[in-house]
Amino acid sequence: MGMLDGKKGVIFGVANERSIAWAIARALRHEGMELAFTYAGEALESRVRPLAGSVDAKIILPCDVTGVAQIKNVFDALKAEWGGIDALVHSLAFAKKEELKGEFLNTTREGFALALDVSAYSLVALTRAALPLMEGREAAIVTLSYYGAQKVIANYNVMGVAKAALETSVKYLAADLGPKGIRINTISAGPVKTLAAMGITGFKGILDMVETKSPLRRNVTQEDVAKTALYLLSGLSSGVTGETIYVDAGYNIMGI
C-alpha cells in the first residue's frame, strides 16, 4: 500500500538517470503514483523511454516548453488518458553556455529572454495548462530552484535572475491556486552533479565548499531532493504552499 496509490503525475525534466526529476519520479512511483514523462527534444527520447518504461509509465511525450502547441498536446493527451492529474514536477532550466561565464553585466537581451522563458515562464505556462486537469483533486506542483536566486554565485549569472523570477512566480501562483485547493512549492537544492552542472567553471570548488561549511558537512543527493518532493506532492504537506524549501545540507543558513 503506497501513500500515492491511484494518483497520477506528470514529470518534466528527465534527461538521464542522474536527473533530479528522475529521482523524484522513482520516489513517487515507490509510493504507487502512476507517471507520465515528457522529453525536451528528439535526442532525449531514447534516454527517457527506457527509464520511463522501468517505472511502468505508458505516456511519454515530447515537450520543449518554449512551444505552445507541444504543451497543449501533453495536457490534451493526459486529459484523454487519465481525465485529470494530481501532481506536476517542473525540473528544468536552460541558459546559453556563453551566459554562464564571465560577468552578468554582459548578458545579452536574447540570452536573458531565453533563460527567463525556459526556466521561469514555463512554470506559469505549464501550471495554467495543468489547472483544468487538477481542479477538485487537491493536486500539487513542485519546481526546482537554486541559492543563486538569492545571493550572487560566480557564473550563475542570468540563471540566478531566472530562479529569482521562478521563486516569486511560485508565490503568485500559490495565491491564484490556493482557493482551488491546489498547492505549489519550490525546492532550492544544493549543488548536484547532473547534466545541468557539467562543464560549469568552479563546480568542484562549490561542492567542496558545501562539504566543508554546511551544517551536515556533506553534499546533497538527488534522493535527498526527491524525498522533499515526495513530501511536497503528498498529503504530508497539506498546509504548505508558496514556499521555497532548502534541501542543501543547511548551507544557506550559515553566516560567518
Residues in contact with ligand IMJ by CB under 6 A are 93-95, 97, 100, 146, 153, 155-156, 159, 191, 196-197, 200, 203, 206
Active-site residue (options: 39, 146, 147, 251): 146
To the query of whether residue 172 is one of the catalytic residues in this protein, the response is: no
SS3 14: coil
> In angstroms, what is the minimal distance from the CB of 10 to ligand NAD?
13
End-to-end CA distance of the chain: 46
Specify the pairing of strand 244-247 against strand 140-145: unpaired
Q: How far is the CB of 221 from ligand NAD (least distance, A)?
A: 11
From 147, 156, 246, 251, active-site residue:
156
**Cβ contacts of 111 within 8 Å, gap of 6 or more:** 95, 96, 98, 99, 158
C-alpha cell at 244: 521555497
Residue 182: contacted member of ligand IMJ, ligand NAD, none (CB under 5 to 8 Å, by partner type): none
Instruction: Enumerate binding residues for ligand NAD (CB under 6 A).
Output: 13-15, 19-21, 40, 44, 63-66, 91-94, 118, 144, 146, 189, 191-192, 194-197
- Rg (C-alpha) for the chain, rounded Å, is 17
CB of 108 to ligand IMJ, least distance (A): 14
Q: Which amino acid is at 87?
A: A
- Minimum Å gap between C-beta 161 and ligand NAD is 13
What residues does 89 pair with on adjacent strands? 11, 142
Report the relative pairing of strands 140-145 and 183-189 from DSSP bridges: parallel
Residue 246 binding partner per list ligand IMJ, ligand NAD, none, with a CB distance cut-off of 5 to 8 Å that depends on partner kind: none
Q: Say whether 231 is catalytic.
A: no
CA distance 25 to 126: 18
Would you say 57 or 161 has its CB closer to ligand IMJ? Answer: 161
Residues acting as catalytic residues? 146, 156
